[in-house]
Amino acid sequence: MGVFMVERRLQCGDKDPMDTTFRKTGQHRIFQDVVEQIQDAILEGRLEPGARLPSERRLQETFSASRGTLREALRVLEQKGLISIRTGAKGGAVVNALSIEQVSESLDLLVRYQRVSLRDLAEFREGVEGNVAVLAVERARPEDMAHMRGLLEKAGDFLEKGASGWDDFIRVDNEIHTYLAQVAGNPIYLSVLRTIYGSIHKYFDRFLPRLEELLHENYRDLCEIVEAVENGQAARAHLLVQTHVYRFNRIMEENAQKESS
């Protein structure tokens, strides 16, 4: 494979005066060099998703590094979500198709570490979803509306099943929000929103009371939102989404307080 052009970009002991990023320890670590080379190859598209990296013993030769050092590099790439590793013959490291997991994991770590509060996360979500709604109004095509009406109908069905349909309803609710972001047509919003959901979802289970009344309220909101999007009412959609998300957040916050007291 001609993907890695240079075996070792820095020799042991070399200085790198061009390095503008502050490297905490200041020390040169070979496995970091390997990480950078492989990461660059992936990010620049020289290694596409699905591509299989050579075996550890092969890479060992390519980079003139020991297997242990190489494995440390692979661990980092795995943790970054860039590759997956399987054992066995024909196993090895495979380049991942973009995964949102890592971002949600670090967001999740932050919340658990109490560096950001559930309230921060909720507020951020409120803002992002509001923006998404405005863009969605601008860009919704008839077929998008048809699909959304379909989702709404599905939600309505689950609603009628009462408490037993709770999880299903929440799932469809989620789909509707995510679909709005898709309609908005900006992949960053879509990614960010998925990340938020990845982090916030477990709080739903913990802090949302499984009241039927809540689902009905929610359903009415969704209907109004879809309607506003269909009618091209950007400001109204914006307000409705924000209010909708805000109400959710309030309920969660109240229950979170109850639990902690």
Partner DNA sequence: GGGCGATTTTTGGTTTAACCATTATCTAAA
Partner DNA sequence: TTTAGATAATGGTTAAACCAAAAATCGCCC
Site residues (vs a second copy, CB under 8 A): 24-25, 27, 31, 42-43, 45, 68, 71-72, 75-76, 79-82, 84-87, 98-100, 102-103, 105-107, 109-116, 120-121, 123-124, 127-128, 130-131, 134-135, 186-189, 191-192, 195
CB of 215 to a second copy, least distance (A): 25
CA dihedral 141, 146, 150, 151 (to 10 degrees): 10
CB of 203 to a second copy, least distance (A): 15
Residue placing its CB nearer to DNA in the complex, 67 or 119: 67
CB of 253 to DNA, least distance (A): 41
Beta bridge partners, 93, equal 85
Q: Which does 141 bind (CB under 5 to 8 A by kind): a second copy, DNA, none?
A: none
Residue placing its CB nearer to a second copy in the complex, 73 or 155: 73
DSSP secondary structure letters along 162-204 = GGGGHHHHHHHHHHHHHHHHHHHT-HHHHHHHHHHHHHHHHHH
CB of 98 to DNA, least distance (A): 20
Helix axis angle, 187-207 to 118-139, nearest 10° = 130
Closest residue by Cα to residue 234 from 178, 183, 175, 174: 183
Closest residue by Cα to residue 77 from 29, 36, 45: 36
Residues near DNA (CB under 7 A) are 12-13, 25-31, 53, 55-58, 64-69, 71-72, 74, 85-93
Q: Which does 92 bind (CB under 5 to 8 A by kind): DNA, a second copy, none?
A: DNA
Find all residues with CB under 8 Å of 84, minimum gap 6, and list them. 78, 93, 94, 96
